[in-house]
Amino acid sequence: ADANPPHAFEVGAAIYRRMLEGADQCVVITGESGAGKTETFKKLIQYLSWRAPSLDAPLTAGAADGDAAGSPPTFERLLLQTVPVLESFGNAGTALNHNSSRYGKFVSLYYTRTGLLAGVVLKNYL
């Protein structure tokens, strides 16, 4: 294993740059139970949402769903809010992680040619 693996923001920067150059990109986040896969996913989404604002950022779902300032939610916030809900289904305890997923997540982010986030599809699989 690499002693100094790249940070999720570094990976995000590289894939976003290559995507703008016209190459489709894929990131696979793997690891043992408790290795930080969910946290890495959150950091990657955080970076990509910062780097590539969405077409309708902020979304118009209503101020009640927004942050403390009352702004409407963004794609990033809505996507990250789904993680705890998804984590609550099919989890089991292990020696390293009391809340270990029994399934995988597949997230597709769709961008415009100019690099704006246009849509998100999130799927679970066993």
- pTM value? 0.71
Query: Which of 16-30, 38-52, 65-79 is most confident?
Result: 16-30
pLDDT value of position 28: 93
Residue 76, burial from CB neighbour count under 10 angstroms (0-12, 13-18, 19+): buried
Dihedral (CA of 119, 36, 28, 114) sign: positive
pLDDT at 8: 92
Kindly tell me if the per-residue pLDDT of 80 is higher than 80. Answer: no
* Helix residue ranges per DSSP H, 8-102: 8-20, 37-51, 75-87
CB 58 within 8 A of CB 23: no
In the predicted structure, residue 61 carries a pLDDT above the cut 50: no
Q: What pLDDT, on a 0 to 100 scale, did the predictor assign at position 5?
A: 77
